[in-house]
Amino acid sequence: MARAVTTQRKIVFTALAWIIGLAIFFPILWTILTSFKTEATAIADPPVFFNFDWTLENYRVVQERSDYMRYLWNSVALAVGSTLLGIIIAVPAAWSMAFVPAKRTKDILMWMLSTKMLPAVGVLYPIRLILINMGLLDSKTALIFILMMINLPIIIWMLYTYFREIPGEILEAARMDGATLKDEILYVLTPMAIPGIASTVLLNIILAWNEAFWTLTLTTVNAAPLTAFIASYSSPEGLFYAKLSAASTMAIAPILILGWFSQKQLVRGLTFGAVK
Amino acid sequence: MTRSLRALMGATALTAAGFAVAAQAETITIATVNNGDMIRMQGLTSHFTDMHPDIDVQWVTLEENVLRQNVTTDIATGGGQYDVITIGTYEAPIWGANDWLVSLDDLGDDYNIDDLLPAVRGGLTVDGHLYASPFYGESSMVMYRTDLMEAAGLEMPEAPTWDFIREAAAAMTDRDNEIYGICLRGKAGWGENMAFLTAMSNSFGARWFDMDWTPQFDQEAWANTLDFYLDLMTNYGPPGASNNGFNENLALFQTGHCGMWIDATVAASFVTNANDSEVADQVGFALAPDNGLGRRGNWLWAWNLAIPASSDAQEAAKTFIAWATSAAYTELVASEEGWANVPPGTRTSLYENQEYLDAAPFAEMTLRSMEAADPTNPSVDPVPYTGVQFVAIPEFAGLATEVGQLFSAALAGQMSAEDALSQAQELATEEMEAAGY
Amino acid sequence: MATQHSRSAARLMMTPAVFLLLVWMLVPLIMTLWFSTLDYRPMRGTFDCCEGLANYTRFITSSAFLDSVITTLQLLGGVLLITIVGGILLAILLDQPIWGQGIVRILVIAPFFVMPTVSALVWKNMFMNPVNGLFAHLFKGLGLEPIDWLSQAPMFSIILIVSWQWLPFATLILLTAIQSLDSEQLEAAEMDGAGPLSRFGYITLPHLARSITVVVLIQTIFLLSIFAEIYVTTGGAFGTRTLTYLVYQRVIESQNVGLGSAGGIYAVILANLVALVLMRVVGKNLDA
Q: Report the pLDDT averaged over residues B126-144.
A: 94
Sorting pLDDT into bands at 50, 70 and 90, what band is B352? very high
pLDDT given for residue B17 in this prediction:
42
The reply to whether B140-298+385-434 shares the fold of B3-137+301-359 is yes
Nearest one of B369, B390, B365 to B202, comparing CA atoms: B390
The string of pLDDT tens digits covering residues B217-242 is 999 999 999 999 999 999 999 988 88
Q: Where are the domains of chain A?
A: 2-59, 67-269
Is some CB atom of chain B closer than 8 A to the CB atom of A242? no
Q: In terms of C-beta distances under 8 Å and separation of at least 24 residues, what long-range contacts does C25-29 make, across chains too? A: C25/A115, C25/A118, C27/A126, C27/A130, C28/A118, C28/A123, C28/A126, C28/A127, C29/A118, C29/A123, C29/C268
Sorting pLDDT into bands at 50, 70 and 90, what band is A115? confident
Amino acid at A39: E
Is C238 in contact with B5 (Cβ distance < 8 A)? no
Phi and psi torsions of A39, nearest 5° = -60, -35
Is C254 in contact with B405 (Cβ distance < 8 A)? no
Which chains pack against B, by 3+ Cβ pairs within 8 A?
Answer: A, C
Sorting pLDDT into bands at 50, 70 and 90, what band is A4? low
Whether C240 is covered by a domain: the verdict is yes
The string of pLDDT tens digits covering residues A143-171 is 999 999 999 998 998 888 888 887 777 77
8 A C-beta contact, residue C168 and residue C109:
yes
For residue B46, how many other CB atoms are within 10 A of its CB?
Answer: 9
pLDDT given for residue B24 in this prediction:
59
> What distance in Å separates residue A49's CA from the closest CA in chain C?
11
The string of pLDDT tens digits covering residues B300-323 is 999 999 999 999 999 999 999 999
Is the model more confident about A172 or about A206? A206
Which of C50, C59, C151, C257 is the best mutation test for B, with the most CBs of B within 10 A?
C151
Please check the confidence at residue B114 and state whether its pLDDT lies above 70. Answer: yes
Sorting pLDDT into bands at 50, 70 and 90, what band is A40? confident
pLDDT given for residue B21 in this prediction:
42
In the predicted model, residues of chain C with pLDDT beneath 50 are 1, 288
Whether C245 is covered by a domain: the verdict is yes
Which of C43, C44, C145 is the best mutation test for B, with the most CBs of B within 10 A?
C43
Q: Report the pLDDT averaged over residues A123-149.
A: 91
β-strand pairing of B258-264 with B180-183: parallel
- State pTM to two decimals: 0.87
Q: Report the pLDDT averaged over residues B242-267.
A: 90
- Provide, rounded to the nearest whole percent, the portion of chain B with pLDDT above 90: 67
As a whole number of angstroms, the distance between CA B431 and CA A125 comes to 22
Report the number of distinct structural domains present in chain C.
Answer: 1
Sorting pLDDT into bands at 50, 70 and 90, what band is B8? very low
pLDDT given for residue C46 in this prediction:
80
Please check the confidence at residue B26 and state whether its pLDDT lies above 50. Answer: yes
Is A39 in contact with B19 (Cβ distance < 8 A)? no
Q: Report the pLDDT averaged over residues B246-272.
A: 90
- CATH number of the domain at B140-298+385-434, please? 3.40.190.10
8 A C-beta contact, residue A252 and residue C157:
no
pLDDT given for residue A14 in this prediction:
93
Residues in chain B within 8 Å Cβ distance of A220 = 29, 31, 58, 60, 70, 81-82
Q: Where are the domains of chain B?
A: 3-137+301-359, 140-298+385-434
By CA distance, what is C58's nearest residue in B?
B434
Q: Report the pLDDT averaged over residues A21-47.
A: 90
Is B42 in contact with A65 (Cβ distance < 8 A)? yes
CATH of A67-269, picked from 1.10.10.10, 3.40.190.290, 3.30.360.10, 1.10.3720.10, is: 1.10.3720.10
Inter-chain Cβ pairs, chain A and chain B, closer than 8 A: 96
Residues in chain B within 8 Å Cβ distance of C50 = none
The string of pLDDT tens digits covering residues B204-218 is 999 999 999 999 999
Domain B3-137+301-359 belongs in CATH node 3.40.50.2300: no
Whether C73 is covered by a domain: the verdict is yes
Contacts of B272 (CB under 8 A, 6+ apart): B280, B283, B361, B362
Residues in chain B within 8 Å Cβ distance of C148 = 239-240, 242-243, 412
Is the model more confident about B428 or about C235? B428
The string of pLDDT tens digits covering residues B179-205 is 999 999 998 889 899 999 999 999 999
Q: In terms of C-beta distances under 8 Å and separation of at least 24 residues, what long-range contacts does C185-188 make, across chains too? A: none
Is A125 in contact with C117 (Cβ distance < 8 A)? no
pLDDT given for residue C4 in this prediction:
65
Is some CB atom of chain B closer than 8 A to the CB atom of A132? yes
pLDDT given for residue A22 in this prediction:
95
pLDDT given for residue C284 in this prediction:
61
Residues in chain A within 8 Å Cβ distance of C180 = 275-276
pLDDT given for residue A273 in this prediction:
65
Contacts of C70 (CB under 8 A, 6+ apart): none
Is some CB atom of chain B closer than 8 A to the CB atom of A224? yes
Is some CB atom of chain C closer than 8 A to the CB atom of B2? yes
Q: Which domain holds residue C263?
A: 63-249+259-286
Sorting pLDDT into bands at 50, 70 and 90, what band is A238? low
Is B77 in contact with A132 (Cβ distance < 8 A)? yes
Q: Of the given ranges (A220-234, B119-133, C271-285), which has the lowest mean pLDDT?
A: C271-285
Q: Which CATH number does the domain housing residue C144 bear?
A: 1.10.3720.10
